[in-house]
Amino acid sequence: MKPKKFLAASLVALLALPASGQERSFGLGLITPPVHVWNQEVAAMGETLASRSDGRFSVTAYPSGQLGNEATMLQQLQTGALDMAWLTTAEITFRVPAMAALHAPFLVENIADAARVLRSDEAREILELLPRATGTMGLCYAMTGMRQLVTRQPVASAADLSGLRFRITPAPPIRSFFEMFGAAPAPMPLTQVYDALANAQIDAIDMDYESIINFRYFEHAPHLMETNHHMFGMVALVSARVWAGLPEDDRELIREATQEHCDRTIDRFVAEEDGKLARLSETPGIHITEDVGPDFFGDVVARWDAEWGAQTPYVARLRELVASF
Ligand code: BEZ
């Protein structure tokens, strides 16, 4: 670069850096709608950051995929066009195969154990892979609960799932699971699911109670199988470029505030999961099949482990961790 251009570029970079004491609003993207627990906790995190920074910091949330789908938001984080995002662990699996271990089918039996996995050293180790693979800092995990199967037609046996067009969150390990039991996975972002069901483009969805309630998917798919077949994690991300421009004491402040609201999110999901199922079972028109365990899916869990265990040691490590609970 010519000396003059270099000087100009350096000046722009310097101006973009928030010196200590400067006011700053962090843009934060999410795919979830304002009613979702993640969005509520992001709003609360904005308040925590504002009060701990004496009003220097605030958060401007962009909900419902306003900035694009999760893949687009991840790219924006990488370039520094977006400061922060709360994204699904599913999205990260495209770049960090180790993250697939968190989507291992039937890894945990209940949501309390899902919380323990997300708070484990093993899970934290996976976050250390993010800067190199994604250009982001993964500050902490939270979740949106356990996933269930929701279908338009009743399902009596695994054979009934075969050939169903199943909406899944785009993610290679989730696709594998659905392909292994003979479904036709249709990856699409959360924001398109309701219309796809309403237009009968899909027969079924892989979803959590929070979103089933928020979006009322049961209006078009009234059969819910309580499978708890995988946990659905979230990672609170900060652009590594933005992070690099922050002084250490501000990083610490952001790290602590984010961790607090990740923890609150996890605690809320653990506390509220049973109540959400109870609420759905009282909703007229919904048919719930309770306690559908791994046996329903035959040898799919073993096949999934063989495929994904070959790609990352974290599948075996997380299975061992859960066995020790
Ligand atoms: C989904 O893609 O199904 C999803 C994403 C974020 C929160 C909840 C659900």
**In-domain check, residue 133:** yes
User: How large is the average pLDDT for residues 125-130?
Assistant: 98
CA of 32 to the centre of ligand 1 (A): 7
| pLDDT confidence band for 5 (50 / 70 / 90) | very low
Reply yes or no on whether the pLDDT at 12 is more than 70.
no
CA-to-CA distance for 184 and 168, rounded, in angstroms? Answer: 10
- 17 or 11, which is more confident: 17
Q: Do residue 117 and residue 153 come from a single domain?
A: no
Q: Which of 88, 149, 175, 212 is the pocket-test mutation for ligand 1 (most atoms within 8 Å of CB)?
A: 88
Q: Which of 207, 210, 234 is the pocket-test mutation for ligand 1 (most atoms within 8 Å of CB)?
A: 207
- Residue-wise burial string across 275-285, b where 16 or more C-beta atoms lie within 10 A, e elsewhere: ebbeebeeeee
Reply yes or no on whether the pLDDT at 219 is more than 90.
yes
**In-domain check, residue 1:** no
Q: What is the CATH number of the domain that holds 288?
A: 3.40.190.170
**Residues for the chain: how many in total?**
325
Backbone angles phi, psi at 41, to 5 degrees: -75, -30
Q: Do residue 70 and residue 160 come from a single domain?
A: no
Reply yes or no on whether the pLDDT at 10 is more than 50.
no
Reply yes or no on whether the pLDDT at 103 is more than 60.
yes
Q: Which atom of ligand 1 is nearest to the CA of 207?
A: 3
**In-domain check, residue 2:** no
- Looking at residue 13, its pLDDT comes to 39
User: How large is the average pLDDT for residues 96-124?
Assistant: 98
**In-domain check, residue 70:** yes
**In-domain check, residue 204:** yes
The pLDDT mean for the chain works out to 94
Tokens of 123: 């899970």
Ligand 1 is surrounded, with C-beta below 6 A, by: 31-32, 88, 144, 169, 190, 207-208, 211
Strand pairing report for 223-225 and 165-168: unpaired
CA of 154 to the centre of ligand 1 (A): 23
User: How large is the average pLDDT for residues 284-288?
Assistant: 96
| End-of-domain residue from the set 276, 296, 312 | 276
Q: Do residue 164 and residue 124 come from a single domain?
A: no
CA-to-CA distance for 318 and 325, rounded, in angstroms? Answer: 11
238: nearest Cα among 219, 222, 221, 257: 257
Span 21-76, pLDDT tens digits: 679 999 999 999 999 999 999 999 999 999 999 999 999 999 999 999 999 999 99
CA of 147 to the centre of ligand 1 (A): 10
- Looking at residue 22, its pLDDT comes to 75
Q: Do residue 169 and residue 297 come from a single domain?
A: yes
- Looking at residue 21, its pLDDT comes to 62
Reply yes or no on whether the pLDDT at 3 is more than 60.
no
Q: Do residue 121 and residue 258 come from a single domain?
A: yes
Q: How many domains does the chain have?
A: 2
Q: Whose CA is nearest to atom 1 of ligand 1?
A: 190
User: 29-33, 100-104, 156-160, 229-233: which has the minimum mean pLDDT?
Assistant: 156-160
Reply yes or no on whether the pLDDT at 274 is more than 80.
yes
CA of 303 to the centre of ligand 1 (A): 25
Q: Which of 86, 211, 231, 276 is the pocket-test mutation for ligand 1 (most atoms within 8 Å of CB)?
A: 211
Terminal alpha carbon distance of the chain: 57
- Looking at residue 11, its pLDDT comes to 36
CA of 71 to the centre of ligand 1 (A): 13
Q: Which atom of ligand 1 is nearest to the CA of 206?
A: 3
- 18 or 252, which is more confident: 252
- Looking at residue 7, its pLDDT comes to 38
Q: Do residue 92 and residue 210 come from a single domain?
A: no
CA of 191 to the centre of ligand 1 (A): 9
**In-domain check, residue 15:** no
**Which structural domain range is residue 193 located in?**
147-230+284-323
Other Cβ atoms within 10 Å of 132 Cβ, number: 10
Q: Do residue 209 and residue 313 come from a single domain?
A: yes
Reply yes or no on whether the pLDDT at 324 is more than 70.
yes
Q: Do residue 203 and residue 318 come from a single domain?
A: yes
CA of 192 to the centre of ligand 1 (A): 11
Strand pairing report for 231-239 and 84-88: antiparallel
Q: Do residue 47 and residue 111 come from a single domain?
A: yes
CA of 2 to the centre of ligand 1 (A): 47
pTM score: 0.93
**In-domain check, residue 10:** no
Q: What is the 3-state secondary structure (H, E, C) of the chain?
A: CCHHHHHHHHHHHHHHCCCCCCCEEEEEECCCCCCCHHHHHHHHHHHHHHHHCCCCEEEEEECCCCCCCHHHHHHHHHHCCCCEEEEEHHHHCCCCHHHHHHHCCCCCCCHHHHHHHHCCHHHHHHHCCHHHHHCEEEEEEEEEEEEEEEECCCCCCHHHHCCCEEEECCCHHHHHHHHHCCCEEEECCHHHHHHHHHCCCCCEEEEEHHHHHHHCHHHCCCEEECCCCCEEEEEEEEEHHHHHCCCHHHHHHHHHHHHHHHHHHHHHHHHHHHHHHHHHHCCCCCEEECCCCHHHHCCHHHHHHHHHHCCCCHHHHHHHHHHCC
Quick check: 231 and 147 in contact, CB under 8 A? yes
User: How large is the average pLDDT for residues 241-250?
Assistant: 97
Q: Which of 144, 147, 205 is the pocket-test mutation for ligand 1 (most atoms within 8 Å of CB)?
A: 144
Tokens of 85: 């995002």
Q: Whose CA is nearest to atom 7 of ligand 1?
A: 32
Q: Do residue 66 and residue 209 come from a single domain?
A: no
Quick check: 193 and 31 in contact, CB under 8 A? no
- Looking at residue 4, its pLDDT comes to 42
